Amino acid sequence: MDCLSIACSAVIVLITFVYLIFKWKYSYWKVRGVQYLEPSFPLGNIPFKKIHFSKYFVDAFKYKQQTPLVGVYLFAVPVAVPISLDLIQSILVKDFSSFHDRGAYVNEVDDPLSAHMFNLDGEKWKAVRTKLSPTFTSGKMKFMFSTVVEVVERFNYTLANLIKVEPEVEVIDLLERFTTDVIGSCAFGIECNSLEDPNFIFRYYGRKVSEVSPFRHLFVGAFPNLARRLHMRAVRKDVADFFIETVRKTIDYRVKNHIRRNDFMDLLIDINKDSDESGEGAGTSKKLSLEDMAAQAFLFFVAGFETSSATMVFCLYELALNSDIQEKCRQEINGVLTKYNGNLTYEAIKEMTYVDQTIKETLRQYPPIGFLIRKAVRDYPVPDTKVVIKKGMEVFIPLHRIHHDPEIYPNPEKFDPDRFSPEKVKNRHTESFLAFGDGPRHCVGQRFAKMQTRIGLTTLLKNYRFKTCEKTPVPMVFETFRGIISPKGSKLFLKVERI
């Protein structure tokens, strides 16, 4: 036999071996008597066809009346998909102590920025969450309010100039520039100006963050130990270097010049003042390394700019399609602002309840993050069944599908902010709206996100009218390989008229 024949035979034997192992793994749910979705080699239940990640495993809901949980496979790894809201509540809230981890990919050695709050687990997550939660108290939000308003004024100016030249505006880039500047200012204390300069360095690296292949994300998520052995990164090296260097320079500058802005960077500096190297001194905790601090700042940047801009983009899209709802929002905004002598204040924004309902309806229909993820840290017997979610198993909570369940939200594709009137909300299960997650690991930046979204939308709707144009996709078509929900091609054009 020549070398080529030997190599071909070896490949065939290897593929057959892997195939048989996968086949054996695919019996996991059947053996345990759990309803499951039929997997295909080698992706398991990851669909071959191009659909957005949010829509994976929707077929699980055909078993809704029969079981609280359905089994699926990510490649060959069994994953539990709970479909009953009571079980979801138990996992996220009541029995959180069994599900406090996400099991996301962390590789502190090769990829230091991966060690951020969203990815961390166990005691390390708890320590970081406890230290950083004070950034988002309502007091801190009031303090940052004026910074966001300053950015929105620049935003208003940029848009006014833009539409003088071209009234059909690509709103994704514009809104991402707005949220980049907000987070840059509030989290890093840096005067970002991506609104004036679309190639500003923060915007440049913001765009680079999502330039990691989705396959790499799936791979490191499904096989974290192998990925660590292969020294794989989830964050690009140039992006990591930029953020670590920015955080180092900002902290050095502030400490040397005694500058305080009462923002996220100050909090990071304060945390380390009260800490020591070991964390063993009385009343002290372990110091965060430069990389730890950069990882948290990086997360706030990544978690903050794309989720909030996507919310504003889809809200404007729906308002362009539903001019009556747009007018109702505008009337509320003008009414409240008149009461506050035209000033956009923290209190004024809180009074705009219909605008708030409109944002919630946007988050229902277009939740930026389509799944919540938890990992069982001990064996968990599913209440009222014989099923056990085994220690180490990942649990995917399909929130996008829940938000589109016709039994919870009749006619779910219709955009209707009245679904979020206080009476209607009161009559629904608390887990029927999960855009910010729930339980102790819910979105820590929720208050901030709501604040910047409300400020952005209020200013836009007060000053401009939004309409669809020829380039607007109706119905919406989504980008497939992206973690955060986005229109196809990551572009959305709307016609914008000055009022």
Give contact residues for ligand HEM (rule: CB under 6 A): 117-118, 129, 299-300, 303-304, 307-308, 311, 363, 368-369, 372, 435-438, 441-445, 448-449
Shortest separation between residue 499's beta carbon and ligand HEM, angstroms: 26
Contact between 266 and 260 under an 8 Å Cβ cutoff? The reply is yes
Shortest separation between residue 231's beta carbon and ligand HEM, angstroms: 25
* Buried-state track 59-68, b at ≥16 Cβ within 10 A, e below 16: ebbebeeebb
Identify any residues that bridge with 388 across adjacent strands, giving them in sequence order: 381
169 or 399: whose CB is closer to ligand HEM? 399
156 or 308: whose CB is closer to ligand HEM? 308
Largest CA distance in the chain: 89
Chain residue whose CB lies nearest ligand HEM: 437
104 or 195: whose CB is closer to ligand HEM? 104
For residue 365, give the nearest of 310, 328, 323 by alpha carbon: 310
What's the number of CA atoms in the CB half-sphere (13 Å) around residue 442? 16
188 or 448: whose CB is closer to ligand HEM? 448
25 or 261: whose CB is closer to ligand HEM? 261
Burial of 319 (0-12, 13-18, 19+ CB in 10 A): buried
Contact between 257 and 214 under an 8 Å Cβ cutoff? The reply is no
Shortest separation between residue 488's beta carbon and ligand HEM, angstroms: 20
Shortest separation between residue 210's beta carbon and ligand HEM, angstroms: 15
8 is in an annotated binding site: no
Determine the 3-state secondary structure of 119 from DSSP: coil
117 or 460: whose CB is closer to ligand HEM? 117
368 or 417: whose CB is closer to ligand HEM? 368
d(C-alpha 393, C-alpha 376), whole Å: 6
DSSP H or E stretch at residue 79: strand 77-82
114 or 308: whose CB is closer to ligand HEM? 308
Shortest separation between residue 188's beta carbon and ligand HEM, angstroms: 11
62 or 442: whose CB is closer to ligand HEM? 442
Determine the 3-state secondary structure of 88 from DSSP: helix
Please spell the DSSP secondary structure of 130-199, one letter per residue: HHHGGGGSHHHHHHHHHHHHHHHHHHHHHHHHHHHH-SEEEHHHHHHHHHHHHHHHHHH-----TTT-TT
d(C-alpha 354, C-alpha 458), whole Å: 11
Structure tokens at 393: 């198993």
What Cα–Cα distance (Å) separates residue 46 from each residue in 34, 369, 399? 19, 17, 17
Contact between 101 and 439 under an 8 Å Cβ cutoff? The reply is no
Shortest separation between residue 104's beta carbon and ligand HEM, angstroms: 9
Shortest separation between residue 443's beta carbon and ligand HEM, angstroms: 3
Helices (H), 49-94: 85-89
* Buried-state track 455-466, b at ≥16 Cβ within 10 A, e below 16: bbbbbbbbbbbb
Shortest separation between residue 403's beta carbon and ligand HEM, angstroms: 12
CA angle centred on 79, ends 74 and 83, rounded to 5°: 120
Shortest separation between residue 421's beta carbon and ligand HEM, angstroms: 21
Contact between 153 and 480 under an 8 Å Cβ cutoff? The reply is no
Shortest separation between residue 77's beta carbon and ligand HEM, angstroms: 19
DSSP H or E stretch at residue 212: none
232 or 303: whose CB is closer to ligand HEM? 303
**From the annotation, which residues make up the binding site for heme?**
443
**From the annotation, which residues make up the binding site?**
443
